[in-house]
Amino acid sequence: MSEQPTDERPVRGSRWSDVQARDSLQSIVETLAEVAGFDVVGVSAVRDDGYLHVLCLVGPADARERLIDSLAPVADLLGQLELAEDWGTLKFIPHDSLIIDVDKWGWFSDRPRDVPEGAWHPEDMLVAPIHDDRGQLVGILGMELPKDGLVPVDGTRELLEMYARQACRAIAAILESERLAEQIRLAGAAADIVRRATGSMSVDDVLTQCGGALVDGFRAQAVWTHLFGAEPRPVRDADPHSPPPTLIDLLARYAAAAWDRQTVGVFAPDRLPPEPLGAADLAEVLEFMDCESLLVVPLGAGTECLGWLGLTREQGGAEWSAGEADVAFDIGRDLGRALATAGNFEREHRLVQELQELADYKSHLVATVSHELRTPLTSIVGFLELLEGDSGLSDRSRNAVAAIHRGSVRLSRVVEELLVLHRTGEGDLDAAGTVDLRATVAGIVELNAEPAERRQITVTGHLPAGQVPVRGIEHELEHVVANLVGNAVKYTPDGGHVVVTLEQVAGEVVLTCTDDGIGISAADQAHVFEEFYRSADPDAAHRSGTGLGLAIVRRLVDRHGGSIELESELGSGSTFRVRLPGA
**pLDDT digit string, tens, across residues 412-455:** 777 776 666 666 655 556 667 889 999 999 999 998 988 889 99
Least confident span in 138-152, 274-288, 307-321, 512-526: 307-321
Output the pLDDT for position 331.
87
Helix residue ranges, H only, 294-321: none
| Nearest CA among 222, 221, 219, 212 for reference residue 192 | 212
Pairing between β-strand 137-146 and β-strand 125-131 as defined by DSSP bridges: antiparallel
CA distance 565 to 202: 40
- pLDDT at position 16, please? 54
Rank 48-62, 81-95, 318-332 by mean pLDDT and report only the highest: 81-95
Distance between CA atoms of residues 96 and 151, nearest Å: 14
Look at residue 4 in the predicted model and tell me its pLDDT.
Answer: 43
Beta bridge partners of residue 498, listed in sequence order: 459, 515
Burial degree of 89 (CB within 10 A; 0-12, 13-18, 19+): buried
Write the CA distances from 132 to 91, 171, 173, 179, 321, integer angstroms.
Answer: 18, 10, 8, 11, 19
Tell me the HSE value of 476 on the side-chain side, using a 13 A CA sphere.
Answer: 29
pLDDT band at 198 (very low <50, low <70, confident <90, very high): confident
Flag whether pLDDT at 514 surpasses 90.
yes
Residue 11 DSSP symbol:
P
* Start-end of H helices in 389-473: 395-423, 437-453
- Flag whether pLDDT at 379 surpasses 90: no
pLDDT tens track for 201-215: 777 777 777 778 888
Instruction: Determine contact, residues 581/562, Cβ cutoff 8 Å.
Output: yes
Strand order in the sheet with 38-46: 71-73, 51-58, 38-46, 137-146, 125-131, 91-93, 85-86
Q: How far is CA 578 from the centre of its chain?
A: 42
Q: What is the DSSP string of 449-485?
A: HHHHHTTT-EEEEE--SS--EEEE-HHHHHHHHHHHH
- Among residues 123, 129, 159, 158, which one has the least CA distance to residue 142? 129
**Whether pLDDT at 13 is above 50:** no
What residue type is assigned to position 427 of the chain? G
Classify residue 507 as left (phi > 0), alpha (psi -120 to 50) or beta.
Answer: left
- In sequence order, the β-bridge partners of residue 56 are 43
What pLDDT is recorded for position 229?
Answer: 86
- The span from the CA of 551 to the CA of 557, in Å, is 10
Report percent pLDDT > 70 for the chain.
91
Tally the residues of the chain.
Answer: 583
CA–CA distance, 199 with 217 (Å, rounded to integer): 18
CB of 218 within 8 A of CB of 347?
no
Q: Report the distance separating Cα 46 and Cα 59, nearest Å.
A: 21
Is the omega angle on the peptide bond into residue 276 within 30 degrees of 0, that is, cis? yes
- Helix then strand count (H, E) for the chain reads 15, 19
Checking 20-25 for CB contacts under 8 A at 24+ apart, the result is: 21/174, 21/175, 21/177, 21/178, 21/181, 22/55, 22/56, 24/174, 25/55, 25/56, 25/171, 25/174
Which DSSP string do the residues of 516-537 spell out, in sequence order? -SS---HHHHTTTTSTT-----
The answer, yes or no, to whether residue 200 has pLDDT greater than 80, is: no
- pLDDT, one tens digit per residue, over 262-276 is 999 989 887 788 999
Which band of pLDDT confidence, cut at 50, 70 and 90, is reported for residue 1? very low
Domains belonging to the chain, first-starting first, are: 19-181 (3.30.450.40), 190-347 (3.30.450.40), 348-423 (1.10.287.130), 429-581 (3.30.565.10)
Mean pLDDT of 21-29: 90
